[in-house]
Structure 1
Amino acid sequence: MRDCHKNRGGTPPAPQEDTMQNTILIHAPGRRQGRGALVLAYTALFALLMGIWAAIFALNGQSFIQYGDTLKQHYPFLVYYGRWLRQAVRCVLTGAAVPTWDFSIGYGADIITTLSYYGLGDPLDLLAAFVPGRWTEQLLEGLIVLRLYLAGLAFMAFSRRHGNSRFGTLLGALAYVFSAWPIQAGLIEPVFLVPMYCFPLMLLGADDLFEGRSPVLYIAAIALTALSNFLFFYMAAMLLVLYAIAVYSKRYGAKNLRTLPPLLAKFIGFALVGIAISAVTLLPTAQELFGSARFGLTRETAPYPFYRFFELLANMTTGMGYDAYSTYAGVTSAAFLGVLVLFAKPRQNTVLKCAWLGLLALLLVPQAGSVLNGISYVSNRWVWAFTMLEAFILARVCPGITAFEPKEKRNLFALLAVYCVVAFCVKQGRTETALLGALLLVLLAVFVLAADDVSRRGVQAVLLAGCCLGVVMNLGGYYGIEEADAVNEYRPAGYAWSTTVQDNPAVTLHLMEDQSYWRYDSLVNEPINSPMLLDVYGTGYFFSLNNSYLSSLFRELGQNTPVEYDYRGLQNRTPLETLFGVKYALCAPDSTGALPALFDSQAVQAAEIGGSTVAVYPNTAALPIGYTAKNQISRETYDTLTPLQKQDALLDGIVLEETGLLPEAELTGDTVSPAAEMELDGVQQLDETTYYAPQDGGRITLTIAQPVADCETAFVVQGMQYTATSPLDAMSEEELSAMSAHDRRSLQKQYAHFWRKDSVYLRLLSNIGEGRIEYNRPNSQYYCGRHDFVYNFGTSDEPLQQITIVLPFAGYYQFDRLAVECQKLDTVAARAENLGAKNLQNVTLGTNSLGGEITTTRSSVLVVQLPYSTGWSVTVDGTPAQVLRADTAFLGVALEPGSHTVAFTYKTPGLTAGAALSAAGVVLLAAIWAVPALRKKSKKRRK
């Protein structure tokens, strides 16, 4: 007879299960006794293993600061964030505006949208407010350790909620925290550790909803994840949906669909409250993300190579297994033994088996990596969820890990044999670390198969020792100097502060007496993103989100930067140095020959920095921050020009999206493309734009009959595309037969996966220098839609007479245009002086604002060299005016003849609405938490 009683939560009760051990979806809340002992044991073992990890670095004289993204992105972020937080508090206390725009981030950028990916909303990063910049390195290392520790605690809470034993939970937590994901990715990108503790909390919150409990944890976990990192929130949300579907299917099944609408309403409604709480950072970031050039690009998704499955299996017991898709799926040998034991026992834990096979399948399907990575390039950055599942499996099977029926023993032995054969049948899996992991796996498997008479304490001791030994082996295998030597990628303690601030060549700029607003370029080794730590205005940038309008301008000008969010300088292109307001250049005194043409070779400042002399050289033709254009270039005319012609044209007028504001500009530049004769060597021209190189190293040589002297010379590629082919395809049967079997197999192995090539470069050889153009194909994670490139050879004593383009790999190369372009610089200074004749005076840089005074004698447009954003507004003489998009990427405002006061003000798009949503979300959360308690108290009073 159907039970007609309703539970208090309004959700029909779940049907009874036959056995708790059959599924992770039936909760048997863990006993409270022993909870403290479990946490204490975990803390002690975590400290031991973390100490070994730190000791490996200390013995090699290194810190946790990796030379790549950690030093270039995460460390500058944390130093800057601490300073920004302290400033924000002062602003709030004094009633001043909180900065949301910074002129020193790249060419100027929004603080919230630029830095949110790195943890601007993460509550843990608020600790930066209390740490001086000099000690931020230690804070960053401490946060890495803290996040790892919290990941273990969150996992244990989830595991115990699902009825797993304390000892199994302890083993699972260690396997999870010291899995391949944090070992390989956690130090390089500290933000990658965020989902490791947020996701278990989201699952616990979902469990609360299924059981009719308070939704507070669910809401808080969603808010925490979304505040900490928008990308991992998206991944966690997608995986949460899969988890909820699995739980619902098991608890209710298809016969109880009447329970779905109320549950679905709860999940969606309370999730929206959590998202609302995070909206203060999430909404502005989402708006910026959807407008970025990388979002929505059409990409190619190539299938994985066949050996990938075997390599993935071989590295299940290691901290290794690097690939280009962040598939760090390894755990300890003990944890993978748990997976084998799971499958060795039929008719048990069916849901866990399906979950493991399902997630493994997703790891083998590139489209899954694309979808879970924000419908972007293929990356398995969600693999932390897979390792969490494996750790949970270990926790689940641990209590009965030595209890086998004879058939189950045979199953485990067979699975172990199949694993060893399959995992190591390809060379990619036969690494020393993988073999050692497999050996430990075999030893542990032999022990559990023969441990019938071993005491429970003895079994636990061996499993714990095996788990810890596996962790140490994985740490040593990846970081050990005799092994993968990844520790060599890290830098000594104190290096980060010394390099980015104390001994940064840009410190020389602080000695300058010029107090006006100006930018500088750098011809010395200066850390990227360091200008934001020194309050100087550079020309470099390396953060995941960037201004889309600036990217469009760089694409139009053919900047030789295939990755749009990672650029350094203007590549010595003289007109661009002028147009972007670069007034000075940092250069070593013995390298002044590398300075752009119109820079003075006489230094205006010099200093000894970090044991080397750094000097500052002025640009004689730099435009001020605000200059006026009296003529405009139509978008139609501008788009027909070549990249060098475009930069030349911008000295004659301004490109506006609106028509008819100014008279049409007369283009007076002198950019020529001398005729060249083409010679092919190892290359076939199939049609006007397509070239086929059957073998690696084909060459295209352009010889110029009438070279152009006294100019800035560049090589221009437009409409570049590349499709890889195998050199073997171009070889005849006779050529192949003439080779020895060994040589033939070697070639086949070398080019077995030619079709996966995701990038290519062009090597440029000329009589005036060498160069390189890099191109990312649509299947590359770095693809940004760029197909036009300019390599600037600069000026030289002799003209370019011949250039050879080396095609390094076999394949089809498409070029809409290959040309040498020469730009005369005789009139650049004069045209720049004409543009800057009427410029913004008495410029003031305020909080989120820029203002000044200007007098014009005719109708014109004021151009301000700051990246355009819809967040900018402008007033002229106190009256609101329209912000124009000038030269694709800059700010502009129309001016009538006369004297004017101009004020630009910035407000982060979506910030006001986001803050309002966050406030509303907090109020709703407080109400959701308080109302049940008040009702309970009220009922007690009535009694």
Structure 2
Amino acid sequence: MIRLWIRKIKQHDYLLMFCLCFATAGLTFIPELVIHKGLFSLVGDFNYQQIPFNILSNRAFKTGDLFWNWSTDLGSNFIGSYSFYTLGSPFFWLSLLFPPMFFQYLVGPLFLLKYCVAGMAAFAYLRRYVRDSRYAMIGALLYAFSGFSTVNLMFNHFHDVVAFFPLLLVGLDRLVLDKRSGWFAAAVAINATVNFFFFMGEVVFLLLYFCVRFLAEDFKKSLRRLPKTFFEGLLGIGMACILFLPAVYFTLQNPRLDQWLYGPSALTFDGSRYLEIIKAVLMPADIMPHQSAIYLSDFTSSGAYLPLFGPVAVVAFVIAAKRSWQRRLILILAAMACVPLLNSFFYLLNASYYARWFYMPVLIMSLMTAQVLENRARYPIGKALIGTGMANALLAAFLLFYPWSLSEKSAVFQMNQFNFYLCTTTAGLIASYYLLHRFSAIRHWWRWATGLVMVFAAGLALFNIVAMHAIYDYQSPEAIDDTVVKTGQQLAKVLPKSENYRISISDGGWNLAMVSATPTVNSFTSMVNGSIFQFYQSIGAPRAVKTIVPDSYYGLIPFLSNRYYVTTVPMSGKKLYAHFYNGYNTIYIYENKDVLPIGFTYKYYLTEKQFSKVPILNRHLVLLKAVIIPQSEVKTVAGLLEPLPQTQLTNQIGGKYYHQDIVARRAETASDFHRSNKGFSANLRVDQPKYVFFSVPYDKGWRATVNGLSVKIINADGFMIVPVTTGNNRIQFTYQTPGLTAGILVSAVSLLLFTGYVSHSAFLRKRRKQLGIKDAAHLDHAKKF
């Protein structure tokens, strides 16, 4: 029976490809899953971002909380915040079959599935360029388990991109070479949905690929295919607009996109970066937060090593195939990787260096390797081995023995770790010598090569996982289950059910509020509303990927309604609300005094320009005196708000005035504050017309009514104020994700167009087949008769 199954698997290429990837990924992940009884964790971002993000997103779908999310920093657009991480991933959709808190048990098996999909997608592309599909399988294994995949283990969502990217090239080849319509549009729709941000870089690659692969080979013929290629590309983006459009609209508010490369920094990196790029190709992937050499830590995703073979076959191909499109393309990509401005094209011209597009050239390197393996006798393997060996030796010698600075004797910071990578690189070169040069004609060569690739790939990834757990033993799977998942669950039980407060965490990187579904003041994510960045910039504490509020900014505690403080350290002089043991350590919850509700009124205002002139250390206190508005809104608030007297800025800051300001704000506060899936509501009684302030981030998707009448929302330094009238006021805020309605409409229309387009193409193809005609030109000729 087993032999029969094996025979059937061998007869089906994609099934065999799946099994090879599953076995390789199984060797990587199953040992850890068995040891930790199904739990899986890594380090840093994986533990404190990927796990909370997936728990939150899973719960949001099941509770219908799909618009405004209160547990992401001060509150944020849910679709915009998580389209980059979870919402476009088919693997996330699969996880919805399970409870939200089950994710740490689910992520290991999902990793296995991602590697299998990546291998099969790469195989679908590579098999076109080799005669024997078995070599496409080796190339697909090299792509799926490359250094890029290994270095990015802690970025779970990057593997979704790696899994589906090859489909873009499959679709483009089928459109241009086979004249098969619809495949490219479908691939574009899938990739634009999976991750809109990575897709932007993929568009750059596709343009290069089209020019080098097609226009340079046959300019006139390819040029005729260009309009249809653009049409299918736009059609694919249109089908993805249900998520793509809201995500892009949201991301354009992020100030990180405004960074730019200036002067010489646009032309050259420093020497360390060039060494890191070379190392990424020559040696196995390092551990991001614990690099062995060059950088102590590096989160740029630099990894492009092909298991076992490294760049040997690529070098051989470049030497021999001087007129091939593969050679031209890989040399262009190498040049772009070495020029900061060109490199940034793959990352929306961001000034920060990232190598998060290296999976694209890795696919081409895998293709070149597969072609060399199939025709080993035709390529200068010996020269490539010597060249690659010398390059590795020179790099290793320089990193090990050349002084790195006056105080550092070399660029190697973790000797044992570096020695492991160096030894495996050497072992790969030796194995390549025997496989490609010495015993290239032995019987069952493919089996030997495939087996060694699988062992190398699994071994390298498994080493990194085991090393991470050894180095960061306090972030073991069990510890993360206690400190993140169970702590979040317990917080939800312990904290009061009232809705008019927020919490803060002693370490803003834990993202516990996402697990507990609690409003918070801090988070560890770069995907939050642009108004949040605006606020922190204005108070002199610019936000990057974490919300870090300085302890000296104590005025923000009442201002942001931060009622509870969660920590693992016992504190004297604070009111202990509750404490519990989470299985790893004790969690203490302290209640802050003098905290304001989320909604309260102001008497005075300051313009943004005036506020910027206030000393930075006083700004958090001024926020309790006056609301901050744009200069353009001064006329709008006239009669309801007064300019803040200068004496309050100069002589009445801090000390007793701090408590007086809190009392003044508490005089008129919102009651019955209630959060819902579509916004929030509150009641407020005032003695005269004025503006009420809500510390909820401003967004163009908000609409507000007071006593059933629509009112204008003013952006108050990243938050919102609305006018209220004398007496009782029923205030209702409703949120609609900007771009979502238009995105749904565009996607629906595009899907209808796609269906008609594919059906029409299928009809023409069937018609040509019936008439025995090969192309549309002959069909037109036949119609004349």
- Normalised by the size of structure 1, how large is the TM-score? 0.71
Structure 1 CA distance for aligned equivalents of residues 364 and 569 of structure 2: 58
- Structure 2: which amino acid aligns with 1:500? V
Q: Do the aligned partners of 1:367 and 1:378 also contact (CA within 8 Å) in 2?
A: no
Structure 1 CA distance for aligned equivalents of residues 557 and 367 of structure 2: 57
Q: Do the aligned partners of 1:230 and 1:282 also contact (CA within 8 Å) in 2?
A: yes
Pick from 503, 506, 522 the counterpart of residue 540 of structure 1. Answer: 522
Structure 1 CA distance for aligned equivalents of residues 106 and 147 of structure 2: 23
Q: 1:537 to 1:409 in 2, by over 3 A?
A: closer
Q: Do the aligned partners of 1:508 and 1:614 also contact (CA within 8 Å) in 2?
A: no
- Structure 1: which amino acid aligns with 2:208? L
**CA apart distance, 1:337:** 2.8
Q: Do the aligned partners of 1:652 and 1:668 also contact (CA within 8 Å) in 2?
A: no
Secondary structure of the corresponding residue to residue 540 of structure 1? coil
Correspondence 1:75 to 2:63:
no
**CA apart distance, 1:650:** 2.2
% identical equivalent positions: 20
- Structure (1 or 2) with the greater helix fraction: 2
Structure 2 CA distance for aligned equivalents of residues 461 and 589 of structure 1: 57
Q: Do the aligned partners of 1:79 and 1:128 also contact (CA within 8 Å) in 2?
A: no
Tell me the equivalent position of 1:450. Answer: 438
Correspondence 1:372 to 2:346:
yes
Tell me the equivalent position of 2:775. Answer: none
Q: Which moved more, 1:143-152 or 1:472-481?
A: 472-481
**CA apart distance, 1:346:** 5.5
Pick from 241, 248, 251 the counterpart of residue 289 of structure 1. Answer: 251
Tell me the equivalent position of 1:776. Answer: none
Structure 2 CA distance for aligned equivalents of residues 296 and 224 of structure 1: 28
- Structure (1 or 2) with the greater strand fraction: 1
Secondary structure of the corresponding residue to residue 563 of structure 2? strand
Tell me the equivalent position of 1:112. Answer: 79
Pick from 504, 516, 524 the counterpart of residue 521 of structure 1. Answer: 504
Correspondence 1:240 to 2:206:
yes
Secondary structure of the corresponding residue to residue 378 of structure 1? coil
Correspondence 1:298 to 2:260:
yes
Q: 1:835 to 1:299 in 2, by over 3 A?
A: farther
**CA apart distance, 1:414:** 5.2
Tell me the equivalent position of 2:283. Answer: 318
Pick from 512, 524, 536 the counterpart of residue 530 of structure 1. Answer: 512
Q: How does 1:430-445 map to 2 (within 5 A)?
A: 431-432=418-419, 433-445=421-433
Pick from 880, 890, 895 the counterpart of residue 719 of structure 2. Answer: 890
Correspondence 1:190 to 2:156:
yes
**CA apart distance, 1:311:** 5.6
Q: How does 1:601-616 map to 2 (within 5 A)?
A: 601-610=574-583, 614-616=587-589
- Structure 1: which amino acid aligns with 2:309? A
- Structure 2: which amino acid aligns with 1:382? W
- Structure 1: which amino acid aligns with 2:127? R
Tell me the equivalent position of 2:3. Answer: none
Pick from 263, 266, 276 the counterpart of residue 228 of structure 2. Answer: 266
Correspondence 1:511 to 2:490:
no
Tell me the equivalent position of 1:148. Answer: 115
**CA apart distance, 1:853:** 2.1
Pick from 501, 508, 512 the counterpart of residue 485 of structure 2. Answer: 501
Secondary structure of the corresponding residue to residue 642 of structure 2? coil
- Structure 2: which amino acid aligns with 1:83? R
User: How big is each residue's C-alpha offset from its partner over 1:628-687, in whole Å with a ceiling of 9 and x where there is no partner?
Assistant: 112222333222111233222222222222114222122555778xxxxxxxxxxxxxxx
Pick from 419, 424, 427 the counterpart of residue 399 of structure 2. Answer: 427
Structure 2 CA distance for aligned equivalents of residues 589 and 466 of structure 1: 50
- Structure 2: which amino acid aligns with 1:532? M
Correspondence 1:66 to 2:42:
yes
Q: Do the aligned partners of 1:180 and 1:320 also contact (CA within 8 Å) in 2?
A: yes
**CA apart distance, 1:495:** 4.2
Tell me the equivalent position of 2:728. Answer: 899
Q: How does 1:302-451 map to 2 (within 5 A)?
A: 303-306=268-271, 309=274, 312-313=277-278, 316-320=281-285, 324=298, 325-334=300-309, 336-345=311-320, 350-376=324-350, 377-403=352-378, 408=380, 411-412=383-384, 415-416=387-388, 418-420=390-392, 422-427=394-399, 431-432=418-419, 433-451=421-439
User: How big is each residue's C-alpha offset from its partner over 1:206-248, in whole Å with a ceiling of 9 and x where there is no partner?
Assistant: 1122135333221111111111111211111111111111122
Q: How does 1:682-761 map to 2 (within 5 A)?
A: none
Q: Do the aligned partners of 2:130 and 2:370 also contact (CA within 8 Å) in 1?
A: no
Secondary structure of the corresponding residue to residue 141 of structure 2? helix
Correspondence 1:173 to 2:166:
no
**CA apart distance, 1:122:** 1.9
- Structure 1: which amino acid aligns with 2:46? T
Correspondence 1:43 to 2:18:
yes
**CA apart distance, 1:533:** 2.3
Tell me the equivalent position of 2:453. Answer: 467
Pick from 680, 687, 690 the counterpart of residue 860 of structure 1. Answer: 690
Higher relative contact order (CA 8 A, sep 6+): 2
Q: How does 1:469-488 map to 2 (within 5 A)?
A: 469-475=455-461, 478-479=464-465, 481=467, 488=472
Q: CA RMSD in A?
A: 3.2
Structure 1 CA distance for aligned equivalents of residues 657 and 746 of structure 2: 54
Tell me the equivalent position of 1:709. Answer: none
Tell me the equivalent position of 1:628. Answer: 601
Tell me the equivalent position of 1:556. Answer: 538
Q: Do the aligned partners of 1:603 and 1:615 also contact (CA within 8 Å) in 2?
A: yes
- Normalised by the size of structure 2, how large is the TM-score? 0.85
Q: 1:521 to 1:249 in 2, by over 3 A?
A: closer
Structure 1 stretches lacking a partner, 5+ long = 1-32, 89-97, 594-600, 673-821
**CA apart distance, 1:201:** 0.5
Q: 1:443 to 1:581 in 2, by over 3 A?
A: closer
Secondary structure of the corresponding residue to residue 370 of structure 1? helix
Of structures 1 and 2, the larger Rg is shown by 1
Tell me the equivalent position of 2:92. Answer: 125
Structure 2 stretches lacking a partner, 5+ long = 1-7, 401-410, 413-417, 773-785
Q: 1:129 to 1:165 in 2, by over 3 A?
A: same
Q: Which moved more, 1:573-582 or 1:658-667?
A: 658-667
Q: Do the aligned partners of 2:606 and 2:644 also contact (CA within 8 Å) in 1?
A: yes
Q: Do the aligned partners of 2:260 and 2:349 also contact (CA within 8 Å) in 1?
A: no
Pick from 541, 545, 551 the counterpart of residue 565 of structure 1. Answer: 545
Aligned length in residues: 728
Structure 2 CA distance for aligned equivalents of residues 52 and 116 of structure 1: 31
**CA apart distance, 1:491:** 4.2
Pick from 151, 166, 169 the counterpart of residue 203 of structure 1. Answer: 169
User: How big is each residue's C-alpha offset from its partner over 1:609-638, in whole Å with a ceiling of 9 and x where there is no partner?
Assistant: 447554544333212111111222233322
Q: Do the aligned partners of 1:65 and 1:490 also contact (CA within 8 Å) in 2?
A: no
Pick from 845, 869, 873 the counterpart of residue 675 of structure 2. Answer: 845
Q: Do the aligned partners of 1:318 and 1:434 also contact (CA within 8 Å) in 2?
A: yes
Tell me the equivalent position of 2:182. Answer: 216
Structure 2 CA distance for aligned equivalents of residues 344 and 940 of structure 1: 43
User: How big is each residue's C-alpha offset from its partner over 1:579-605, in whole Å with a ceiling of 9 and x where there is no partner?
Assistant: 111223335684134xxxxxxx34344
Structure 2 CA distance for aligned equivalents of residues 54 and 588 of structure 1: 32
